Amino acid sequence: AQNSILVTGGAGYIGSHTVRLLASQGRKVVVLDSLVFGHEGAIVDEGVELVVGEVGDRELVDRLFTEHKFDAVVHFAAFAYVGESVTDPLKYYRNNTAEPLTLLEVMQKHGCKTFVFSSTCATYGVPESVPIVESNPQDPINPYGRSKLMVEWILRDCDSAWGLKSACLRYFNASGSSADGKIGEDHDPETHLIPRVLMAITGEISHLDVFGTDYPTPDGTCIRDYIHVEDLASAHAKAIDHLAAGGDSVRCNLGTGVGVSVKQIIQAAEEVTGKEVPIKYGPRREGDPPQLLADPSYAKEKLGWEAQFKDVHDMVRSAWSWMSGPQKGRYEK
Ligand code: UDP
């Protein structure tokens, strides 16, 4: 059984929800997080050890492997601001592509051959067709997407060379928070649509800028596939079990298969909160594909995984419970 798990970036948004799930399944979880973007407060389980450090710190990672004899690594640690990746590509290639090489080398040394990787629908670039299936061409349009795609390639080569089994999980738009409201999304700066819509409602920002109303979509705004963070978490647990059972390396989309426009998100937020969202319609944001929508059937076939939340009202309600709850959507610094 894969019971001793190293989770890098486990104090981040998707990582922390996954850590809670893995811990609740009785697995021994060690989190390695630099806390550059992660939050100490996002680790809420007593039994989970948080080690503050870098994935590229060979001595540290080696010591952790010797001590804990990990069966598997779930690798979230990465930078994820697309705009910043365009202005500072080396930061992204260093952190997202180069640093994991050290982690993989240490895994090889210790004979750990199970790796679950946070990939992204950004590896597809502007899709030729939607819904996106895994065999769609991967042609990312920014350094962030390329920094992730290169790791997918590295993982394939490690499989051929030394039998590393990996699951590349290509996330669509992560959203929502834990059902009990203890952990949730806290990015600084926050660029994502759902939290920004809710911040416009609480008054934390003066209004929401809608980036583009002239897209070739029914209402002119971009369409995305919003996937609940707890659904993402469960896919990681299933991916570990798939690989532990001797399954082949896999690359899967994680989405709902439901496309939702920016205007539909705003409407859902107004319905959920009973408040109006102050809006300004503006120009397109550079690099935004008109439509990103997953065909999630392969993940169901290979991992037995399927999104439980399919109605975006659930994602918005869950994000709102975190943002309007005691922590007001922020961890203590
Ligand atoms: N968006 C927007 N205003 C915002 C933030 C996002 O109109 O303040 C739009 C963005 O252009 C995209 C969608 O909302 O079409 C989702 O953006 P987000 O940054 O949440 O995720 P992405 O799809 O870029 O990963």
ipTM: 0.99
Q: Enumerate the domain spans of the chain.
A: 4-175+226-254, 193-224+257-323
Q: Write down the pLDDT at residue 251.
A: 98
- The set of catalytic residues is 144
**Count of beta carbons in the 10 Å neighbourhood of residue 192:** 16
pLDDT digits (tens, 9 = 90+) for 55-84: 999 999 999 999 999 999 999 999 999 999
Distance 59 CA to ligand 1 centre (A): 39
Q: Please work out whether the CB of residue 314 comes within 6 Å of at least one atom of ligand 1.
A: no
Distance 134 CA to ligand 1 centre (A): 23
Distance 209 CA to ligand 1 centre (A): 10
Q: Which residues contact 24 (CB under 8 A, 6 or more apart)?
A: 45
Which of 130, 288, 291, 292 to mutate for ligand 1's pocket (most ligand atoms within 8 Å of CB)?
288
Q: Write down the pLDDT at residue 333.
A: 81
Assigned CATH for 4-175+226-254: 3.40.50.720
Which residue positions in the chain have pLDDT lower than 50?
1
Q: What is the SS3 string spanning 84-144?
A: HHHHCHHHHHHHHHHHHHHHHHHHHHHCCCEEEEEEEHHHHCCCCCCCECCCCCCCCCCHH
Q: Write down the pLDDT at residue 6.
A: 98
Which of 214, 224, 315 to mutate for ligand 1's pocket (most ligand atoms within 8 Å of CB)?
224
Please state the atom number of ligand 1 nearest to the C-alpha of residue 265.
Answer: 14
Q: Write down the pLDDT at residue 2.
A: 59
Choosing among 3.90.25.10, 3.40.50.300, 2.40.30.110, 1.10.3720.10, the CATH entry for 193-224+257-323 is 3.90.25.10
- For the chain, percent of residues with pLDDT exceeding 70: 99
Q: Write down the pLDDT at residue 189.
A: 95
Q: Please work out whether the CB of residue 224 comes within 6 Å of at least one atom of ligand 1.
A: yes
pTM score of the predicted model: 0.98
Report whether 148 contacts 169 (CB < 8 A).
Answer: no
